[in-house]
Structure 1
Amino acid sequence: MHVAELPPREGERALWPDWAPSRLVEAYRASGVSAPWRHQVEAAQAVHDGAHTVLATSTGSGKSLAAWLPALTAVLAAPAPTGSVASIRRRASVLYLSPTKALAADQASALHALLAAGGLDRDVRVTTCDGDTPPNERDWARAHADVVLSNPDFLHFTLLPGHERWSRFLRGLTHVVLDECHAYRGVLGAHVALVLRRLLRIAAHLGATPVVVAASATAGEPGETLARLIGVRAEDVVAVTRSTAPQGRRHVALWEPPPVDAPDGEDWALEAPGGTPANDGYPASPGWASSPGSPSDAAWARGGDPSDRTTDDAPPGPHPVDARSSPREPTRSGEPTPSSAPTPSGAPQDVVRRSALRETTDLLADLVLADRRTLAFVRSRAGVESVATETARTLARRTGGGLDALSSLAADDVVDPVPTLEAGGSVAVAAYRGGYLPEERRVLERALREGRLGALATTNALELGIDVSGLDAVLMAGWPGTRVSFWQQTGRAGRAGADGVAVLVAGANPLDTYLVHHPEAIFDEAVEATTFDPCNPYVLAPHLCAAAAELPLTASDVDLFGLSDDALLVELGQRGLLRRRPGGWYWNFARPESPSRLTDLRGGGAPGVAVVETATGTVLGTVDGGRSDAVVHPGAVYVHQGRTYVVDELTEDAALVHAEVAAHRTAAHAAHHATLLDVRSRAVWGPVTWAYGPVEVTSQVQSYDVRRPPSMAVIGTVPLEMPVRTLPTTGVWWSCPTDVLTAETGIAPGEVPGALHAAEHAAIGVLPLLATCDRWDIGGVSTALHPDTGAPTVIVHDGYPGGAGFAERGFRAAQRWIEATYEAVASCGCHRGCPRCVFSPKCGNGNHPLDKGAALRVLAFLRAVAPSS
């Protein structure tokens, strides 16, 4: 175990700005803010002076005040409405955008409390407006609201297409508050950047020049990020990055679970069945989605030996992944993982360790009994339910059922905590994840803020900046994927200047093991910069169509949208989407579709499936449409706040379930295929063939395991045949005959899978430098014998339906790409691989097998056969 101590920091106060209204200052004082911190005043002053500003300081440093102080000042300075059209047109307004509904609801609650404390709730009218808002409340927001809290999705699908109805609000727009701006990365970041530019364009058309103020606790290059988001020069953005708020002492521990002596016992085995990494917060899972159960459970079915095929590095959330090549059967998600291969850390081999979830469960129970309020971040939704349930059972055993709600349960039953929380009660532990109804999420969020909830097991849905003071500890069951997420989650502990502790519990994969034994890879490295490309034509084209429908596109819009000329507009015109007129480019309103529906900020995933209890008609929650086959197939056990339900029927829009105290759990198995459909471009490097073209990735759930908790031992397998799900995308790949590859590189045939897998990881890690994408935007497949090429093949594909241009850029820059990949691996000083070179934070098979040395020989061979220019 490694423990780092982050020292405490004294706060540095400043005077309230003289331009801040005394009523607003008194409201803050009545809310407990006697004086602002110096960084808050610096940022607020820049915003008040009219500069686009980003505040990138530590979690809990009070970034909200820096945004709301100048924004509410503008609202309060506006003339009181008299009923005349002129006074209404002069009324200032503020738009707040957050990446999650939970964060918007949290900000709305805090804002209402602030205004009420100062008696300003009649002077400033605040409301939330998103996809869950009823029509009558939207009408009120359009007509009366001074502050609207929303999200980019609502902006794209509703507000901007209907901007004429929002003209009263948009005409008075003085500030746009962009919270947690680091969440907008990759394709999602490009989408949000274009939505923001469309917003600013319409505001300017109506005579408004709003100032954009952004906040993030963990943004790399924050000034450049905001500049790219809103389409201005970096020198036009003020970045405030030094926090002057007090910070308590924080201990951050990297914990590797201990070995176990009895692999058949129950102390090691709490792994979530069928758990693929969840991504409940923004950015949401892009593109096609399926949930094959445990990633390592998948098996190939297109000829050849399944152990020769590898698929990984797909986008976050549910994604197609396949079995890694391995000398043994793929490890089930609930089984202990023996470290049969040499570990990068040099740890003992053949060591079976307790699972990260079992260890997290015990630590969480210890913290609850010690009266320490805790968040436990778990990477899968099934894992969240398991941790909450097993923690409750542990507490019940230790206390004799003396704790409330979830901890006072029978052996196979759990009391739903939400009714207790709704009634103002308290509970020891609960679960929080995507798929819960909005009302249920709000109850849990409110209970957490008010201190009525001792502990919460959650996905990354609570990673972003919900203001929860008084949390003592954070547990992380496995590496969250990026240093940005790690520090976001760590920052939940010890808020408001209090001491705190954060513990990363390593999962059973080489990446987690490496980080535990090489803490410098976490503590001595800067957080990742936010990467996205608004000029990507795959993303830009549909937004140009939407913008043309809102207002005709003219020459003055070329720079705003990053266009060097009108070639893309001409192409859209040739496709019949736009029409050129003397006044500019117009949307072709003769078309049947709405231009805002040409793209989805989240990547065009399948519609959600409601989980409905047949006996009562109660909607328990929702499941992502692309994951429904694996999560709520007939016979599946669906867990909701510890209660178990069994699925009777799955339709296109609903899963019908009945309540049943189920002593088992289920985990689906899916077969995956990656088919190279065609070759659009080809290049020959001697014996190596490069190609770019359409790729089809398919997945089909074919069976599910029945598992006995808590060990999750498989007690049976049930055949199942579900519809085939398909991701049509584009990819770039290279292949080489086996005999040539082994002869030229000197690697043995048995080393080929590990060599290609490691080379694939490294190539995916480097491609964002050339294609201006995020690692989570692309996926990869490596195989020692691909059926479509008949040779060892490495494929890198876009993670979005139809492609997003990244694979094409990789093909066109293949020489630079391979050269940069080789340099990245060769220059890394590690011996067997690390996160800097061949480890991937999103590998579908736990970074196994990987052979850095063999990969380096393969990459050197590719460099040698590459054309001279």
Structure 2
Amino acid sequence: MNTEGFLERLRRHPSYRGEIVHVERLPARPARYGRRKETLHPALEQALAEQGITRLYCHQAEALHLVREGKHVVVTTPTASGKTLCYNLPVLDTLLQDPKARALYLFPTKALAQDQLRVLEELTSLFPSPIRFGCYDGDTPQEMRARLRRRGQILLTNPDMLHLGILPNHTHWSHFLSSLRFVVLDEAHIYRGIFGSHVAGVLRRLRRLCRLYGSEPTFIATSATMANPAEHVGTLTGLPVAVVEKDGAPSGSRDFVLWNPPLLSEATGERRSSAAEEAFLVAELVSCGIRTLAFARARVVAELVLRMAREALSRTHPEVAERIRAYRAGYLPEERRAIERGLFRGELIGVTATNALELGIDVGDLDATVLGGYPGSIASTWQQAG
């Protein structure tokens, strides 16, 4: 079902009161490829070819070239534009050339780290010799932590773990720090305000310890579209950075529909609950077989939207009522991983989530997103809509 067909279905609904106040269509955009100035390790070239990647988008080729020149880089292109390759290519190429080299990947959430772990597993599984990597966070068993510290070539972690678990124990990490060639900051736009100032301090401590152990890593940051990427990442890292912002990835057409809850009282201006409206839209989308991700501003709202949507579906489409789940911080690690897998594999047709599921996670084929209110920034709006 296309957008216009679904909107017409909503307009014919008995409860419709003119809630659709605006529709904006963004046209499709073709791919723009770049010329690669560098060759990659044959094993990496072969792995990319087996995944159907024979050419790089212009922003991927530009980022690879700048990193090869030793420059610190921030890539600021939209969601689903292939930013992951902008850092995986130079990192994996270096590790294949020099197995003693090390890389540190910093993600703001555990869910994003797990998603990128899966991406690395798929790409490196095609290599003739294995690359050693893993997640190092609060969910990592102690024996795995020791193994990653001794032998890990790529460490996927978060700023909190870097601050609490790695830097205070730097003498145990001396081998890793002395061989550190790359530091990746994924979703760098998240590090703003007080949180950003703390992360900036942690990164300066990391750079100071790297100098102590004789390394000067290259920083590669990715970010959602933002107005001042060079200033932001430069302040965050204390380093001058080159900006890659010309997006070469293709994009299908997208429709933004603004839905205003109906008035309950003309006198007071009170409107129907936004959570109730979001639950109604989720139920309607899911009942049409449209894979949907709905965002709520708080954990309790995400659970409330799930409950109301399930109640509505149990009356009209009971066969799909149990194929929607909630996702938020506070779930056990195994619960979060199961929901992420279910969404990626298509076992779930709908998820109501907080911004814990916002940050660039690959959820497979997704048809619609529902934003329950303004997320707080333009960058977050594009992230959730993307």
Q: Which amino acid aligns with 2:259?
A: W
Counterpart in the other structure of 1:402: 319
Counterpart in the other structure of 1:61: 81
Counterpart in the other structure of 1:72: 92
Deviates more, 1:17-26 or 1:138-147: 17-26
Give the SS at the match of 2:255.
Answer: strand
Q: Which amino acid aligns with 2:164?
A: F
Instruction: Name the CA distance, whole Å, in 1 between partners of 2:342 and 2:68.
Output: 35
Q: Is the 8 A contact 1:124 1:146 kept in 2?
A: yes
Q: Is the 8 A contact 1:368 1:428 kept in 2?
A: no
Deviations 1:310-336 (A, max 9, x none): xxxxxxxxxxxxxxxxxxxxxxxxxxx
Q: State the shift of 1:17 in Å.
A: 4.7
Deviations 1:688-746 (A, max 9, x none): xxxxxxxxxxxxxxxxxxxxxxxxxxxxxxxxxxxxxxxxxxxxxxxxxxxxxxxxxxx
Counterpart in the other structure of 2:384: 489
Counterpart in the other structure of 1:97: 106
What is the RMSD of the two structures over their aligned residues, measured on CA atoms? 1.5
Q: In the TM superposition, what are the counterparts of 1:556-705 in structure 2 within 5 Å?
A: none
Instruction: Name the CA distance, whole Å, in 2 between partners of 1:193 and 1:474.
Output: 32
Q: Which amino acid aligns with 1:462?
A: L
**Pairing 1:230–2:125 present:** no
Q: Is the 8 A contact 1:433 1:459 kept in 2?
A: yes
Counterpart in the other structure of 1:357: 275
Counterpart in the other structure of 2:184: 177
Deviations 1:426-461 (A, max 9, x none): x52100111111111111111111221100000111
TM-score by length of 1: 0.41
**Pairing 1:258–2:280 present:** no
**Pairing 1:370–2:288 present:** yes
Instruction: Name the CA distance, whole Å, in 1 between partners of 2:147 and 2:305.
Output: 42
User: What is the percentage of aligned positions where both structures have the same residue?
Assistant: 43
Q: Is the 8 A contact 2:343 2:364 kept in 1?
A: no
Counterpart in the other structure of 2:198: 191
Name whichever structure is richer in strand by fraction.
Answer: 1
Give the SS at the match of 2:53.
Answer: coil
Q: State the shift of 1:468 in Å.
A: 2.1
Name whichever structure is richer in helix by fraction.
Answer: 2
Q: State the shift of 1:396 in Å.
A: 1.5
Give the SS at the match of 1:159.
Answer: helix
Q: Is the 8 A contact 1:29 1:35 kept in 2?
A: no
Deviations 1:225-252 (A, max 9, x none): 11111112xxx31101111100111111
Instruction: Name the CA distance, whole Å, in 2 between partners of 1:166 and 1:60.
Output: 34
Give the SS at the match of 1:96.
Answer: strand
Point out which structure has higher relative CO (alpha carbons under 8 A, 6+ apart).
2
Give the SS at the match of 2:370.
Answer: strand
Instruction: Name the CA distance, whole Å, in 1 between partners of 2:169 and 2:39.
Output: 35
**Pairing 1:30–2:34 present:** no
Q: Is the 8 A contact 1:203 1:209 kept in 2?
A: yes
Q: Which amino acid aligns with 1:189?
A: G
Q: State the shift of 1:386 in Å.
A: 1.3
Instruction: Name the CA distance, whole Å, in 2 between partners of 1:192 and 1:350.
Output: 44
Deviations 1:181-209 (A, max 9, x none): 01001111111011111111111221111
Q: State the shift of 1:219 in Å.
A: 2.9
Q: State the shift of 1:486 in Å.
A: 1.4
Q: State the shift of 1:16 in Å.
A: 4.7
Q: In the TM superposition, what are the counterparts of 1:340-355 in structure 2 within 5 Å?
A: 349-355=267-273
Instruction: Name the CA distance, whole Å, in 2 between partners of 1:155 and 1:244.
Output: 33
Instruction: Name the CA distance, whole Å, in 2 between partners of 1:32 and 1:429.
Output: 32
Counterpart in the other structure of 2:28: 8
Give the SS at the match of 1:4.
Answer: strand
Q: Is the 8 A contact 2:137 2:157 kept in 1?
A: yes
Q: State the shift of 1:350 in Å.
A: 3.6
Q: Which amino acid aligns with 1:244?
A: G
**Pairing 1:209–2:209 present:** no
Q: In the TM superposition, what are the counterparts of 1:216-295 in structure 2 within 5 Å?
A: 216-232=223-239, 236-260=240-264
Q: Which amino acid aligns with 2:76?
A: A
Counterpart in the other structure of 1:432: 327
Deviations 1:260-304 (A, max 9, x none): 5xxxxxxxxxxxxxxxxxxxxxxxxxxxxxxxxxxxxxxxxxxxx
Runs of 4+ more than 4 Å apart:
none
**Pairing 1:462–2:370 present:** no
Instruction: Name the CA distance, whole Å, in 1 between partners of 2:225 and 2:327.
Output: 23
**Pairing 1:50–2:70 present:** yes
Deviations 1:161-191 (A, max 9, x none): 1111111111111100100001001111111
Q: State the shift of 1:32 in Å.
A: 3.1
Q: Which amino acid aligns with 2:312?
A: T
Give the SS at the match of 1:3.
Answer: strand
Q: State the shift of 1:7 in Å.
A: 1.4
Q: Is the 8 A contact 2:323 2:350 kept in 1?
A: yes
Instruction: Name the CA distance, whole Å, in 2 between partners of 1:111 and 1:203.
Output: 25
Q: Is the 8 A contact 2:200 2:235 kept in 1?
A: yes
Counterpart in the other structure of 2:41: 21
Q: State the shift of 1:31 in Å.
A: 2.3
Deviations 1:517-551 (A, max 9, x none): xxxxxxxxxxxxxxxxxxxxxxxxxxxxxxxxxxx
Q: Is the 8 A contact 2:32 2:57 kept in 1?
A: yes
Is there any run of 5+ residues in structure 1 with no aligned partner, and where? 80-90, 261-337, 339-347, 408-426, 492-869
Q: Which amino acid aligns with 2:202?
A: V
Give the SS at the match of 1:107.
Answer: helix
Counterpart in the other structure of 2:151: 144
Give the SS at the match of 2:295.
Answer: strand
Q: Which amino acid aligns with 2:245?
A: T
Q: State the shift of 1:223 in Å.
A: 0.9
Instruction: Name the CA distance, whole Å, in 2 between partners of 1:125 and 1:171.
Output: 17
Instruction: Name the CA distance, whole Å, in 2 between partners of 1:100 and 1:218.
Output: 19
**Larger radius of gyration between Structure 1 and Structure 2:** 1
Q: State the shift of 1:352 in Å.
A: 4.2
Instruction: Name the CA distance, whole Å, in 2 between partners of 1:25 and 1:453.
Output: 34
Q: State the shift of 1:353 in Å.
A: 2.8
Counterpart in the other structure of 1:126: 133
Give the SS at the match of 1:372.
Answer: coil
Instruction: Name the CA distance, whole Å, in 2 between partners of 1:103 and 1:166.
Output: 24
**Pairing 1:441–2:336 present:** yes
Instruction: Name the CA distance, whole Å, in 1 between partners of 2:187 and 2:226.
Output: 8
Q: Is the 8 A contact 2:78 2:382 kept in 1?
A: no
Q: Is the 8 A contact 2:295 2:355 kept in 1?
A: yes
TM-score by length of 2: 0.91
Q: Is the 8 A contact 2:34 2:62 kept in 1?
A: no
